[in-house]
């Protein structure tokens, strides 16, 4: 099949995709800017902010196109939730053709920002930079199986200094009902909404910034989902066969003590202590998927434990769950630790495969940032920030649905539409004069 016929097929499928999800926008006059915005996101280009995108899709009328796209993304009152639901309804069935969706992946991503006026910008941990710096951070939830994954919800984390500042909130249009929430609290809200919407998954995956939060793990369990989440090596655990001491026997005076307890000789251990004390037979080499050059494999131990965090405030010990530990060959000590409430009879290989499925979110963010310009939005407001992210996810949903039609070396833009050359002498506002 030639490139032209492929482009025709992809173009017609893109038109059908746009038509299917446009109803979520509420007004038919939003269909044209929606199509233009998604087209510009899918075309090649170093910068996916509004003005350069307008120049790519309508080079003969850049100013008018810029005004239209800017109003659509920054001002127009369409619902991000409705649009993402429409994308899910279109794309998740395509993913499910390759198998059920077992996992919901929680993660967050940081986008560096200069200045302090864009909504949510603060000096905080930015994964993209690997350090603390000025950035915006958003929490997302993705539905995933071995074939693909799709972000299904996305929300800006609003730091305390923003949440409690009425002037900054008003200047950037933060809705009145948005209060300060930690990232794990935001993620739990997203999980509850996904569960209520009928997204049928079995377990939740998250890194240690969520897994270390006992309230987050308890919340996932209350929703009715299992989890496989990262934890720190210092996490306190009761090894298999051990648990806290029972409450003190009532002396007959005062109120009975109901709390379980510890004493000087009876204490939990850290995950690292547990790992270093395991016999050699507990470690087994497991491969979990094919990498670019070879299969990915490492050494793992899986043991039953009881989490011990502040359990002396409880009346009974926590149930047993899995502690999965990774210790790659050549490393002086274990490198990763996980807690999981997946079934007690699960095999070690299946436990590793489930836990390692979290790599899918890294692929999502790589494509959303590098290919679709997730972090390129130049506006300052709450609505524009979320509208741009929603449109990036909508464009990404089309790419996921088109995966089998795109050859490994093919150009995504060429499969979609012809790329118009930029006008002679075009230079986005604020960019340096090349002369």
Q: What is the pLDDT of residues 55-93, one digit of tens each?
A: 888 888 888 989 999 999 999 999 999 999 999 999 999
The yes-or-no verdict on residue 418 having pLDDT over 50 is no
pLDDT in the model for residue 4? 31
User: Residue 406: which pLDDT band, with cuts at 50, 70 and 90?
Assistant: low
Q: What is the mean pLDDT of residues 122-147?
A: 91
Residue 214 falls inside a structural domain: no
Residue 298 falls inside a structural domain: yes
Same structural domain, 264 and 322: yes
Domain enclosing residue 95, as ranges? 3-204+362-416
Whole-model pTM?
0.88
> 131 has which bridge partners?
126
From residue 171, alpha-carbon distances to 39, 166, 168, 180, 383 in Å are 30, 9, 5, 17, 12
Same structural domain, 185 and 295: no
Same structural domain, 296 and 382: no
Task: Measure CA of the first residue to CA of the last residue in the chain; give whole Å.
Answer: 45
* Number of domains, the chain: 2
pLDDT in the model for residue 295? 84
Same structural domain, 366 and 342: no
> What is the per-residue pLDDT across 3-49, written as a single tens digit (0 to 9) for each?
333 334 577 889 899 999 999 998 888 999 999 999 999 988 778 88
Same structural domain, 384 and 341: no
Residue 277 falls inside a structural domain: yes
User: Residue 234: which pLDDT band, with cuts at 50, 70 and 90?
Assistant: very high
The yes-or-no verdict on residue 128 having pLDDT over 70 is yes
Contacts 24+ apart (CB under 8 A), 419-426: 419/43, 419/44, 419/56, 420/56, 420/57, 420/58, 420/59, 421/59, 422/55, 422/56, 422/59, 423/55, 423/59, 423/60, 423/62, 426/55, 426/59, 426/62
Bigger pLDDT: 410 vs 373: 373
> What is the per-residue pLDDT across 240-249, written as a single tens digit (0 to 9) for each?
989 888 887 7
């Amino acid at each position: 099949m030639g490139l032209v016929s492929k482009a025709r097929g992809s173009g017609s499928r893109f038109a059908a995709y746009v038509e299917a999800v446009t109803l979520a926008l509420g007004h038919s006059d939003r269909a044209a800017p929606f199509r233009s915005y998604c087209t510009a996101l899918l075309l090649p280009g170093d910068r996916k902010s509004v003005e350069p995108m307008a120049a790519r899709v309508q080079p003969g009328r850049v100013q008018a196109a810029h005004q239209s796209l800017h109003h659509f993304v920054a001002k127009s009152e369409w619902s991000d939730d409705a649009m993402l639901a429409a994308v899910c309804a279109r794309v998740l069935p395509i993913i499910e053709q390759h198998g059920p969706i077992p996992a919901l992946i929680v993660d967050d991503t940081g986008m560096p920002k200069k200045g302090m006026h864009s909504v949510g910008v603060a000096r905080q941990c930015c994964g993209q930079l690997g350090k603390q710096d000025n950035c915006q951070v958003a929490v997302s939830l993705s539905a995933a199986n071995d074939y693909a994954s799709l972000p299904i919800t996305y929300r800006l984390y609003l730091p305390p200094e923003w949440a409690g500042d009425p002037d900054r909130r008003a200047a950037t249009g933060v809705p009145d009902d948005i209060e300060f929430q930690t990232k794990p609290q935001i993620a739990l809200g997203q999980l509850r909404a996904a569960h209520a919407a009928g997204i049928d998954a079995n377990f939740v995956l998250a890194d240690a910034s969520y897994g270390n939060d006992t309230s987050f793990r308890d919340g996932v369990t209350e929703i009715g989902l299992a989890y496989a989440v990262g934890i720190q090596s210092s996490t306190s655990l009761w090894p298999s066969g051990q648990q806290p001491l029972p409450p003190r026997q009532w002396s007959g005076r005062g109120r009975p003590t109901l709390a379980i307890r510890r004493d000087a000789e009876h204490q939990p251990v850290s995950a690292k202590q547990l790992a270093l004390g395991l016999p050699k037979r507990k470690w087994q080499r497991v491969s979990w998927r094919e990498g670019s050059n070879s299969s990915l494999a490492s050494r793992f131990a899986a043991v039953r434990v009881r989490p011990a965090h502040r359990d002396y405030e409880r009346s009974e010990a926590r149930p047993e769950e899995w502690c999965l530990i990774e210790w790659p060959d050549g490393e002086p000590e274990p490198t990763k630790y996980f807690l999981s409430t997946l079934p007690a009879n699960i095999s070690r290989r299946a436990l590793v495969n489930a836990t390692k499925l979290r790599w899918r979110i890294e692929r999502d963010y790589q494509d959303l940032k590098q290919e679709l310009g997730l972090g390129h939005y130049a506006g300052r407001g709450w609505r524009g920030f979320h509208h741009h992210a929603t449109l990036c996810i909508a464009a990404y949903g089309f790419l996921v649905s088109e995966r089998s039609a795109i050859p490994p070396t093919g150009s995504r833009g060429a499969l979609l539409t012809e790329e118009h050359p930029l006008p002679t002498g075009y230079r986005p506002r604020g960019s340096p004069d090349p002369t």
